[in-house]
């Protein structure tokens, strides 16, 4: 049994050939690779010759198996090389992004693509499966496959997934950048604010309600928050009110009496703004009130 498939590429000849040789050696597939150049493009011809095939009826199934191996090799090349090139091109088109941030954004986007967005598991495996299915569909209808043409015209669903990860990385970067700028603004404000108290103690209930105490253990929550703010706590949120109150008081020392895990973001914001003014209480009589 003899048959051949021609693979065309402009940029990924080395990767495709490396994957094919690896595949041939690992799976002991009966094919040879012939390469020749046409202008800027390369034609990689895979010639299959299986003399061990005795039953002609199996020929169609064997060809399908061969095409499946080729589709896997092509999908791996796309995942390992084209994705990175495509992400870089997308970043270059975002003129508001500084070039020194491209590498970080590239790593972030590829991290999402390899590990999944949010809670999606097996993200890379799913993308590869989708690619293999689409490539097989092309190979079932033609013995000629052009990798750049496929990516330009046939792989829109797959490219949408890649684009989504890039947009996700850019959005997260912008949010982080804006957050850091906001933190710097708050730090500057606090550093130039005259402290209304030298020492402030903060406690928080499991429901998220906080109270402020002075160094003598006297509750001073209402003293530093207007009543209308407390009346609108459902709208503003206790955690936002806490940060606002601390900035308004700008104490030289903040002691946190908070033992619950649900407020990590708020506590991190407080630590980012107030730096070494913040300390965690390891246990005292005030802690027992919460």
Could you tell me if residue 12 is inside a domain?
A: yes
Q: What is the pLDDT of residue 237?
A: 61
* Claim to verify: residue 18 and residue 68 sit in the same structural domain: yes
Question: Which of 38-42, 67-71, 218-222 bottoms out in mean pLDDT, i.e. has the lowest?
Answer: 218-222
Q: Are residues 86 and 204 in the same domain?
A: no
Both 31 and 110 in a single domain?
yes
171 and 83 fall within a common domain: yes
Counting residues of the chain whose pLDDT is more than 70, the rounded percentage is 88
In a domain, 192, yes or no: no
Q: What is the pLDDT of residue 235?
A: 47
Query: Are 207 and 171 contained in the same domain?
Result: no
- Residue 76 tokens, joined: 């791996």
Find the domain containing 264 and state its range.
Answer: 199-289
Task: Examine residue 218 and state whether it is found in any structural domain, yes or no.
Answer: yes
pTM confidence score: 0.72
Residue where a domain stops, chosen among 185, 215, 242: 185
Is the predicted pLDDT of residue 240 greater than 70, yes or no?
yes
User: What's residue 9's pLDDT?
Assistant: 96
Same domain, 21 and 57: yes
- pLDDT higher than threshold 80 for residue 253: yes
Among the three residues 185, 210, 234, which one is the final residue of a domain in this structure? 185
3-state secondary structure 194-218: CCCCCEEEEEECCCCCEEEECCCCC
Q: Are residues 98 and 209 in the same domain?
A: no
What pLDDT was estimated at residue 136? 94
Q: What is the pLDDT of residue 282?
A: 84
Instruction: Determine contact, residues 221/211, Cβ cutoff 8 Å.
Output: yes
Domain end: 141, 162, 185, which one?
185
Answer whether residue 68 is part of any domain: yes
The verdict on 204 and 180 lying in the same domain is no
Supply the pLDDT for residue 244: 83
Judge contact between 273 and 186, C-beta under 8 A.
yes
Question: Do residues 109 and 234 share a domain?
Answer: no
When pLDDT is cut at 50, 70 and 90, the band that residue 119 belongs to is very low
> Cα torsion at 76, 81, 82, 83 (round to 10°)?
90
State the average pLDDT for the chain: 85
Of the given ranges (112-116, 151-155, 192-196, 264-268), which has the lowest mean pLDDT? 112-116
Q: For 261-286, what is the mean pLDDT?
A: 86
- Is 156 in the same domain as 224? no
**Do 31 and 87 share a domain, yes or no?**
yes
Q: Does residue 259 or residue 21 have the better pLDDT?
A: 21
The count of domains in the chain is: 2
**Does any domain span residue 194?**
no
Same domain, yes or no: 95 and 239: no
Residues 6+ apart with CB under 8 A from 184: none
């Amino acid at each position: 049994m003899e048959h051949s498939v021609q693979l065309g590429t402009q940029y990924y000849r080395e990767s495709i050939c490396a994957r094919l040789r690896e595949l041939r050696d690992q799976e002991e597939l009966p094919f040879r690779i012939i390469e020749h150049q046409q202008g800027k493009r390369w034609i990689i011809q895979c010639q299959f010759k299986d003399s061990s095939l005795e039953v002609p009826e199996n020929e169609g199934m064997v060809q399908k198996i061969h095409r499946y191996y080729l589709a896997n090799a092509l999908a791996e090349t796309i995942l390992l090389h084209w994705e990175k090139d495509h992400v870089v091109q997308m970043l270059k088109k975002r003129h508001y992004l500084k070039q020194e941030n491209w590498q970080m954004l590239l790593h972030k986007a590829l991290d999402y693509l390899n590990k999944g967005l949010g809670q999606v598991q097996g993200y890379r495996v799913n993308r590869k499966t989708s690619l293999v299915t689409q490539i097989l569909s092309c190979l079932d209808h033609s013995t000629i496959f052009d990798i750049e043409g496929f990516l330009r015209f046939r792989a829109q669903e797959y490219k949408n997934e890649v684009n989504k990860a890039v947009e996700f990385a850019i959005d997260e970067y912008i949010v982080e950048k804006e957050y850091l700028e906001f933190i710097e603004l708050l730090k500057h404000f606090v550093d130039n604010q005259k402290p209304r108290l030298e020492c402030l103690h903060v406690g928080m209930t499991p429901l998220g309600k906080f109270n402020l105490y002075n160094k003598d253990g006297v509750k001073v929550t209402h003293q530093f928050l207007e009543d209308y703010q407390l009346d609108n706590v459902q709208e503003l949120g206790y955690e936002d009110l806490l940060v606002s109150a601390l900035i308004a008081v700008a104490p030289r020392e903040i002691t946190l009496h908070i033992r619950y895990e649900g407020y990590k973001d708020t506590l991190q914001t407080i630590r980012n703004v107030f730096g070494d003014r913040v300390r965690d209480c390891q246990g005292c009589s005030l802690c027992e009130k919460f």
